Chains A and B, each alone.
Chain A
Amino acid sequence: MAEKKKLFMQGNEACAEGALYAGCRFYAGYPITPSTEIAEYLSRTLPRVGGKFIQMEDEIASISAIAGASLAGLKSMTATSGPGFSLKQEGLGYACMAEIPCVIVDVMRGGPSTGYPTGPSQSDVMQAKWGTHGDHPVIAVTPAYVQEILHETVRAFNLSEKYRTPVLILFDEIVGHMREPVMLPEEGELEVIDREKPTCPPEEYLPYDAGYEIPPLAAFGEGYRFHVTGLNHKDDGFPTNDPEMIQEGIKRIIRKIDNNKEDIWKNEEHYIDGAEVVVFAYGSTARSAKYAVRELRKKGVKAGLLRALTLWPFPDEALKDACQKARAVVVPELNLGQIVYEVERLVDCHVEGIYRVDGEPINPMQIMEAMEKYS
C-alpha cells in the first residue's frame, strides 16, 4: 500500500482532489473569484487521469455541459461563486427535475451583485435552497476545514450518485483560500458510490419509474435510447399535462430526499449534552464558534456547539435535540440573518443572530460575548 500523502494545500485545491477521488471525470467551468483555483487545478489533473476539463463561455453553459456529460455517464462537477451561482440557478432546477447527478460548488463571496469578490460571505445559503424556481429537492454540504472540504466533496458526489440529484457544496472565501495540511486518502479508504444503472432490457426501461424510490439511470449511447426533458414528465420521461402525474412527479423528487434525511444529515457536536447556551453554526463561522465554546467551558459556562455539515435538508432533529436544555441559541452568520429563521422555526428558547457583511470573519470574541449573556 502506498504511503499516505500529506500535503499543504488550499481549500479549493482540496475540493478538486476530492472530486478526483470520487471519480469525477468531467468539469466545466467559468473563471470567477474566489473559486477559480478549482478549475485551474482540474484543468491540470483531469486529463492526466483521462478526464475532461472544458472552460465554457459562461456559468450557464458550464452547468448545462456538466448535466449533458453526466447523462452520457461521467461524474461531473462545476464550481463558481455568487454571481455565477445566480446564473446557474435555471440549470440547477433542470438537473433537479430531470434527476441528473452532478456537483455544484459555490465558494461564497460578498454580495449582492459583484459585491466583494475577495471577501468571504455566507449569503448564498438561502439562494441554495430557494434560488431556482419551482418546488425542488436540495442537498447542500457545508465544510469548514480544508481536509473536510476534500471529504465532503467525496460525500457530495456519493449523495448525488445515490439520490440521482444535484448536490451543492457551499464554503466561503476564507476556507477556499486557506492553506492547511491535508492527508490524501488512499484508494479504498473512503467510500465511493456510483449511480445505479438499469439491468432491464432497453425496451422495458423507464428512466423515471415511480416503482423505484430512486430510478436507475442509463447513460446515453448504451442502447437505452431514453428521453430527458425539463417539462413535467411521466415515468417514461415524456411530457405530460396530467394533473395527477405532474403533482406526483414533483412530490417524488422531493420525497426521495425527505425519506432519506437520516442518511444525508451530518452534524458535529461539541459539549452539547446539557448545554445551556448553544451556538448553531456552519462553514468557516463554525471555526470561531468552536473556539468560543472551548473558552466558555474553561470559564464554567455550559456552552455547546452544533455544527451542520449538511445544511440542506436542514438538521431539524439534531437542532431540537441540542436545544433541549438551552436557554438560548446563538446563530453566527456571514450574512444579515438567513439560517437564523430556520432555527427560530424549530426551537422554543431565545434565538440571537450575530451577523457580519463587511468582508471580515466573525471572530470568537463576538460569539463569546453573545453567549455569555445567557449563561
Chain B
Amino acid sequence: MSTAAAVKKPKISVPFDYSKYLRKGKLPHIWCPGCGHGIVLKSLLRAIEKSGLSKDDICMVSGIGCSSRTPGYVDFNTLHTLHGRALSYATGVKLAKPEMKVIVVTGDGDALAIGGNHFIHTCRRNIDMTILVYSNAIYGMTGGQFSPTTPSGSYSTTSRYGNIEPVFDCCELAKASGATFVARGTAYHVQELERIILESLKHKGTSVVEILDSCPVYYGRLNKMKSASQMMELIEKNGTVSVKQVDKLPPEKVQGKLLRGILHKEDRPEYCEEYQKLIDRVSGK
C-alpha cells in the first residue's frame, strides 16, 4: 500500500500519565463496565494538568452516589460526605481556606433532588468552586430509581409504567440561581469536556458543568439499550447539539435536544472575596 496516509509522518503523542493524580492502591474502582464516570474522570484529570493546579491546593468534595466515589481514587485533599450535602461541606472548606481550589463531584440525584436547596443557594452566593454534575438520569448506587433528570416516559425500578415526572434542566436551574459559569458536556465528547472543565476551573465564582453520562447497567437495561456503546450513540447522535452549531442548523434538528458547550458566563462578585472585603472593613473595630 502506498497511499498518501501511509507515507505521512505518524503523529507521536505521549500518552497522558493519569497515575500522577490517582491513588493507585485504591483501584480498581467500583464503577460498572460501560459506566461513563471513568471517562469523565480522565477528562477532569487532563484539565487539572493543563490548569497547573497543584495536588495540595485541590480539595475534592462529594456527596453520595456512584460519581461521589471519585474522591477516593484521586490524590487530592478529599472529602466524601453525606447524600446531597457536598456543596455545604465544600462551602465550609472554601470559606476556611479560600486559597484552595474546591471541586465538587456530584450526581443528578445528589445535586438536584436531595441537595437541590444547597445547589440553588451555592449558585446564588457565587462562591468560587467547580461543581461537576455527573448526570446519568438514574440513581445507580441504589439500583436504578428515577431521578430529577430521568426523561419523562423512561423506565426505572420506581417508574415501572414510565416516568410521569418532568425533568429538571440542570443548566437552566444553575443559571437562574446565579451561577456565573454554566456549561454542559458529555462523556462522549471527551476533548470538548476537557476544554469545558478547564474553563470552569479557571473561572472565579460558582461554575456548574452538567455532564451527560451513561448508566448502561440500570438506565440502559431498563430502557432497552443493550450496550454501553448504544447509550454513547444516543448521547452522540440524538441527545445534544453544540452551542457553536445551533444557529446554523434547521429548527427540526435542534428541537428537543440539549445544548452542549459553555452556555453562560458572567463576572459577578465572588463570595469569599466579598467576605474578605467585609473583614478588611470591620476588623479591629
Contacts and interface: CB of A to CB of B under 8 A. Distances in A.
Interface of A: 26, 28, 47-50, 52, 54, 56-58, 60-62, 64-74, 76, 90-91, 94, 219-231, 238-239
B57 interface: yes
A47 B71 CA distance: 32
A73 B55 contact: no
B283 A50 contact: yes
B121 interface: yes
Contacts of A227: 71-72, 78-80
Interface in B66-92: 71-72, 75-82, 85, 87-92
A221 B283 contact: no
A48 B89 contact: no
B26 to A, nearest CB: 6
Contacts of A52: 95-96, 275
Contacts of B85: 60-61, 64, 91
B61 interface: yes
Nearest to B271: A54
Interface string B48-59: 000000011101
B251 interface: no
B92 A230 contact: no
A225 B284 contact: no
B118 A72 contact: no
B71 to A, nearest CB: 7
B4 interface: no
B5 interface: no
Contacts of A28: 91-92
B95 A61 contact: no
Contacts of A47: 275, 278-279, 282-283
Contacts of B97: 72-73, 219-221
How would you classify the secondary structure of chain B's contact residues: helix, strand, loop or mixed?
helix
| Interface footprint category on B | 35 or more
Given A47-B283, A64-B88, 7 more contacts: A61-B85, A67-B89, A68-B81, A73-B96, A76-B92, A225-B55, A239-B72
A221 B95 CA distance: 13
B248 interface: no
A65 B179 CA distance: 19
B92 A50 contact: no
5 A-B pairs with least C-beta separation: A68-B92, A64-B88, A72-B96, A69-B92, A65-B92
Contact of A49 (B61, B87, B283): B283
A72 B78 CA distance: 11
Contacts of A222: 56
A166 to B, nearest CB: 14
B103 to A, nearest CB: 13
Nearest to A91: B82
Interface string B109-124: 0000000011001000
A220 B118 CA distance: 22
Given A26-B96, A69-B95, A94 B72 contact: no
Nearest to B57: A221
Contacts of B76: 225
Nearest to B101: A221
B80 A61 contact: no
18 contacts: A26-B96, A48-B284, A56-B121, A57-B118, A58-B117, A60-B88, A64-B91, A64-B92, A65-B89, A67-B92, A68-B93, A68-B94, A94-B82, A223-B56, A225-B75, A225-B78, A227-B79, A229-B72
A226 B77 CA distance: 5
A76 B285 CA distance: 22
A194 to B, nearest CB: 15
Contacts of A91: 82, 85
Contacts of B267: none
B222 interface: no
B100 A68 contact: no
B88 A68 contact: yes
A229 B83 CA distance: 12
Nearest to B125: A54
B99 interface: yes
Contacts of A60: 85, 88
Contacts of A229: 72, 80
Nearest to A233: B80
A74 B98 CA distance: 12
B279 A50 contact: yes
Contacts of B279: 47, 50
A27 to B, nearest CB: 10
Contacts of A71: 79, 92-93
A71 to B, nearest CB: 7
Contacts of B95: 26, 52, 54, 65, 69
Interface string B28-48: 000000000000000000000
A14 B68 CA distance: 40
Contact of A228 (B55, B56, B75, B80): B80
